Amino acid sequence: MALSERSSVQGSVKEVLREFQVSFFALTRLPSFPWTFVEKDLQSSGSSELISQVLKQFPPSVRYRRLFLSQLIRRLEASGCEPLDELYDALAEVVGAEETMECYKSYLLPAGGAVSLMENIALISEGTTGLVTWEAALYLAEWALENQQVFTGRTVLELGSGAGLTGIAVCRSCSPKRFIFSDCHSTVLQKLRDNVRLNGLSEQTTPAVSVEKLDWTAISEEELREIGADVIIAADVVYDPDIAGSLAKLLSIVLRCSSAEGLPQVFICSTIRNLETYGGFKQQLEAEGVGHEVIPAPVNHVFPYNRQSAIELIKLRR
């Protein structure tokens, strides 16, 4: 095989591997899974080594593995291909396995490596929405990767961090000086601490990282001044009209707590599920004397999520 041909084959293997891993590790919904990539690789290589390798490293949930393998086998059979024995074996292994409430999800970073999180398999569990990664968190992380200068050398506070995806991606890729994750729910805080540790971050690392209990309805101006954040971020925190008022009030206070770098920059990223709730939040911000501008969407698609969702990133100003 000519050298140019060989390097183009290697390039396409790399592409298959990346597409596959990005979707598989993050448990992308199966209807939007890049099946053609996987099928092409199986047909051309005649081996399921790639799939077996990924299944073993950070195994996604039992249910996901089961659905993925049955669908892959079905698709291969329908296309007249004989599915490989290893795929039947892998399916047999998960058919009898017990389902767990939690599983790993890994989000590959463009510069290499991944943010790996232990997440719940249900969107809402233990009375909280904070044990899974939401689309706005992925959107905000993509925007941060393209706007690293906003975070470099800064003290960053994240409100309602949940499982920790955005903050960990910022710590990995944007060189902040210090990063403070926060949430109010005790189970979420425990999971967040575990995930921060799982990704090798702590008070002793660069950046120095801490996880704090911070309730929007209870924090005082003095406590916010003590944190001294230069940048405040939050993803998917506007969904409950009952707490939107407290959040708007907190953000108006935050905007007058200047740090060594001057007045802080505040970015809120929201999935707009209900126009009334989102509009109500903006009205409450205005009532607190806080204006906003909409920030253009990130250009590069790094993480897999539904691009049709209505997501908006706003920057607040006094």
Ligand X SMILES: C[S@@+](CC[C@H](N)C(=O)[O-])C[C@H]1O[C@@H](n2cnc3c(N)ncnc32)[C@H](O)[C@@H]1O
Chain centroid to Cα 53, Å, comes to 23
Which of 133, 199, 270, 284 is the binder for ligand X (CB under 6 A)?
Answer: 133
With contacts defined by CB under 6 A, name the span among 31-39, 79-87, 210-218, 276-284 that binds ligand X.
210-218
Does residue 183 belong to the site contacting ligand X (CB under 6 A)?
A: yes
Least gap, CB of 16 to ligand X (angstroms): 29
Which two tokens mark 295? 């920030």
Residue with structure tokens 């954040």? 229
Q: Are 211 and 178 in contact (CB under 8 A)?
A: no
Give the CA diameter of the chain: 69
Instruction: Please select the residue that binds ligand X; options are 20, 25, 216, 278, rule is CB under 6 A.
Output: 216
237, 270 in Cβ contact below 8 A? yes
| Binder of ligand X out of 89, 215, 221, 286 (CB under 6 A) | 215
Q: Confirm or reject binding of residue 313 to ligand X (CB under 6 A).
A: no
Closest CB 221 distance from ligand X, rounded Å: 16
Measured from the CB of residue 167, what is the shortest distance to ligand X in angstroms?
9
For residues 110 and 271, give the distance between their C-alpha atoms in angstroms, rounded to a whole number.
24
Q: Which is nearer to ligand X, 42 or 174 (CB)?
A: 174
Residue 116 binds ligand X (CB under 6 A): no
Q: Can you tell me which of 117, 174, 184, 302 binds ligand X, judged by CB under 6 A?
A: 184
Residue 69 vs 235, nearer CB to ligand X:
235
Cβ(282)–Cβ(268) below 8 Å: no
Contact at 8 Å (CB) between 133 and 195?
A: no
235 near ligand X, judged by CB under 6 A: yes
Between 136 and 290, CB nearer to ligand X: 136
CA distance 39 to 156: 43
State phi, psi for 233 to the nearest 5 degrees: -130, 155
Rounded CA-CA distance 256/113 in Å is 37
Interface with ligand X (CB under 6 A), residue from 50, 51, 62, 137:
137
Q: How far apart are CA 289 and CA 91, in angstroms?
A: 58
Report the relative pairing of strands 231-235 and 208-213 from DSSP bridges. Answer: unpaired
Measured from the CB atom, is 161 or 199 closer to ligand X?
Answer: 161
Site for ligand X in 237-266 (CB under 6 A): 237, 243
Q: Answer for the pair 51, 87: CB distance below 8 angstroms, yes or no.
A: yes
Segment near ligand X (CB under 6 A); pick from 5-13, 91-99, 101-109, 231-239: 231-239
Nearer Cβ to ligand X (42/224): 224
Q: How many CB atoms lie within 10 A of CB 272?
A: 15
- For residue 160, state whether it binds ligand X (rule: CB under 6 A): yes
Footprint on this chain of ligand X (rule: CB under 6 A)? 128-130, 133-134, 136-137, 160-163, 165, 183-185, 188, 214-217, 235-237, 243
